[in-house]
Chains A and B, each alone.
Chain A
């Protein structure tokens, strides 16, 4: 959605009557895309909810495989990246080109930190023999359900990480465009749309964290 309707750099695309209509259309298009993403992650959450209803105790026990501290740090990192993203959009609104690029880079940095922690967690699971499939060596009680939990863990956090990587890619292109002066006070739609996308990815993690990490702690 990052190139939505930005046909002509400073005016508006030929199919729109004015810039306001273009902005409204881009915003609605982005919200539609996010609704579709809600369903995309929603289906995986539904699978998780179904199985946690079927194997409640096993899933709570399996949740203890995950390290709570890393999960909490990641949540803080991601909410902070949402804050820096909001500042970037704020600066774009007010035409502060240098500050805007600075906040965009900060957001990318926090995103990379998040992915780094995630990568560390994955390798840690790999060494513990918790990766589902052939490498699954955990043989405690309810081992099959633990493998099922780990399947869902990797699918959900993997999808989320993939969206993070795409988000960082878009942020990088935004930095380049901002550097070339594409955006000014009157026209900053791509920055705001990327902001919406980034906040959505943060929202997914806000739901992922309690459902995966916190269910077995009591």
Chain B
């Protein structure tokens, strides 16, 4: 087995970095940055992920194909997310009017039929 041991010291440094990043993400959540919050949270999460993968999971010394497999998985998820949300984002109100929380002015013309009160 090719000796690829990473020293204990490195592990502890990485652990400290992960803790710091967790603190950053929790603190930054309380600051109102509008859409920036989600973006920052994702950036921090990705950096933590990269740290864990390269050091804790030894992908630093991993083969090219192992890295390729992981990147392919992440790209597939990104593709799924991008195209579904792009479909949602570009739905044209002329062909698609969601009831829930939609344009308040549009009262559904065909009222859902309330049950008829029983005849006394």
Contact = CB atoms under 8 A, between A and B. Distances in A.
A82 B56 contact: yes
B62 A31 contact: yes
B120 interface: no
- Chain A at the B interface: SS class: helix
Given A90-B6, A93-B1, A199-B52, 9 more contacts: A49-B85, A50-B81, A53-B85, A72-B26, A90-B5, A186-B1, A210-B41, A210-B42, A211-B41
- Place the interface of chain B in its size category: 35 or more
Contacts of A35: 69-70, 72-73
Closest 4 A/B residue pairs (Cβ): A42-B77, A38-B73, A35-B73, A218-B32
A196 B30 CA distance: 33
B85 A79 contact: no
Nearest to B47: A206
A212 to B, nearest CB: 11
Contacts of A196: 57
Interface residues of A, number: 57
A215 B73 CA distance: 25
A214 B63 contact: no
Interface of A: 19-20, 23-24, 27-28, 31-32, 34-36, 38-39, 42-43, 45-46, 49-50, 53-55, 68, 72, 75-76, 79-80, 82-83, 85-87, 90, 93-94, 142, 144, 185-188, 192, 195-196, 199-200, 202-203, 206-207, 210-211, 214-215, 217-218
Contacts of A85: 56
Given A27-B62, A79-B15, A202-B52, A38 B77 contact: yes
